[in-house]
Amino acid sequence: MIRVENLTKLFGTKRAVDGISFSVERGEVLGFLGPNGAGKSTTMRMITGFIPPTDGKVKVGGFDMVENPIPAKRLIGYLPENAPAYTDMTVSGFLGFAAEIRGLRGEAKKKAIHRAVEMCFLENVLHQSVETLSKGYRHRTCFAQSIIHDPDVLVLDEPTDGLDPNQKHEVRGLIKRMGEKKAIIFSTHILEEVDAACSRAIIIDRGKIVANGTPQELRKKSEWAGAVTLRVKGVAGAAVSSKLYQVPLVNRVTVVEEKDGRVTVSVFPKPSEAGANGEFARAVGEAAHGWHIEQLQIEEGRLDEVFRSITMPDTAQEVKK
């Protein structure tokens, strides 16, 4: 549904987006991650046709966004960053306008508004002026606008920004459910949302894609993927780590905590062994034979750590030391 090829945007001489290519099919939810200023919003603005690309192509449902924008835009629902909405209208007036612009009139318009209001829980503020809405309600109003015509493609720039925890949960669920029948791209800074809603995630940094895969695949890039956390009782930390270093597969051992006669260590495999974590965990377990083991846990890998090591390679090194 969405096909992006070699997309590039220059602001003056600054490359805000630098040769990005990816595609999203129906039934996929693509999470868009990246540090502030990475170019997420700029990419979304080009996909939705708000700004023309300096170079590259955007196709939505087979229509080129530059050459044939109107049919392409018809397929898209868009929630821009900061959720703009007309402050001089009521919520229902605003949604009515959004419906009319999408060609809905009369009964169809009423139904569309009703559906969007129900999905975004806006019944209470329907006749309130947008100007006086709280931030979260304004965000939901703009979100309602984006789904009013039940579009095939949804582009959501930080859809959960400013929502309370319950609403965040609702919106994630909504995205996941809608993703079964639509192609959705959404950006976020909250990594749990990647697990909660995405079938795939892309991390971009300084305008370039630096990682692209399912949440599980991304997690495997973590140094933590396949690492083992071990807690034993009655042994000194130094003794534990020197023993574990003798295991051939072990790359590094860190003492996390030593307290009340208990030692917690994290044991990292050599990079080549990361995949075969069952074997690695068994090897660690054998080395620990004879100690009083309170806990032995295989780590799945941590997205936040992947994110940090990919987008801030220098600082991640610092943290390790």
Partner 1 sequence: MSTTFGNIQAIAKRELTGFFASPVAYVFIVIFLLLCGAFTFLFGGFFERDQASLAAFFMWHPWFYLFLVPAVGMRLWSEERRQGTIELLLTMPITSSQAILGKFFASWAFLLLALALTFPVWITVNYLGSPDNGVIICTYLGSALMAGAYLSIACMTSAMTRNQVVAFIVSVVICLVLVLGGVPRVKEFFDAINLPWLGSLAAGMSVMTHFDAFQRGVIDFRDLVFFGSLIGLALFTTGVILRSHRTG
**Residues lying near partner 1 in the complex (CB under 8 A):** 9, 11, 45, 48-52, 70-71, 73-74, 76, 78, 80, 82, 84-90, 93, 97-98, 100-103, 105, 129, 142, 145
The residue range among 31-39, 114-122, 279-287, 293-301 that interacts with ligand ATP, by the rule CB under 6 A, is 31-39
Least separation in angstroms between residue 77's CB and ligand ATP is 19
Distance CA 7, CA 32 (A): 15
Question: With binding defined as CB under 6 A, does residue 46 bind ligand ATP?
Answer: no
Should residue 36 be labelled a site residue for ligand ATP when binding is judged by CB under 6 A? yes
Q: Is 222 in the site for ligand ATP (CB under 6 A)?
A: no
Residue 108 near which of ligand ATP, Mg ion, partner 1, none (CB within 5-8 Å, type-dependent): none
For the sheet with 228-233, list strands across it: 250-259, 262-269, 228-233, 292-298
Smallest distance, partner 1 to C-beta of residue 283, A: 55
Count of CB atoms situated within 10 Å of the CB of 70: 8
Is residue 84 a contact residue for ligand ATP (CB under 6 A)?
no
Calpha distance 295→278 (Å, rounded): 16
- Least gap, CB of 308 to ligand ATP (angstroms): 15
Q: Tokens 């503020």: give the residue.
A: 125
Contact characters 250-269, ligand ATP, x per CB under 6 A: --------------------
> x-or-dash pattern for Mg ion, window 184-223, by CB under 5 A?
----------------------------------------
- From first CA to last CA, the distance across the chain in angstroms is 45
Q: d(Cα 275, Cα 218) in Å, to the nearest integer?
A: 13
Cα–Cα distance, 275 to 278 (Å, whole number): 9
Angle at 111 between CA 105 and CA 117, to 5 degrees: 115
Stretch touching ligand ATP by CB under 6 A, among 20-28, 38-46, 70-78, 123-131: 38-46
Q: How many residues does the chain have?
A: 321
149 part of the interface to ligand ATP, by CB under 6 A:
no
* CB-count exposure of residue 222 (10 Å: 0-12, 13-18, 19+): buried
DSSP class of 88 = T
In angstroms, give the least distance from the CB of 162 to ligand ATP: 13
The item of Mg ion, ligand ATP, partner 1, none sharing an interface with residue 211, based on CB under 5 to 8 Å by kind, is none
Q: Which does 36 bind (CB under 5 to 8 A by kind): Mg ion, partner 1, ligand ATP, none?
A: ligand ATP
Nearer to partner 1, 11 or 245 (CB): 11
In sequence order, which ranges of the chain are alpha helices (DSSP H)?
A: 40-47, 69-74, 91-101, 106-119, 135-147, 165-178, 192-197, 215-220, 237-245, 277-287, 303-311, 313-320
The answer to whether 81 contacts Mg ion (rule: CB under 5 A) is: yes
Residue ranges binding ligand ATP (CB under 6 A): 11, 16, 34, 36-42, 81
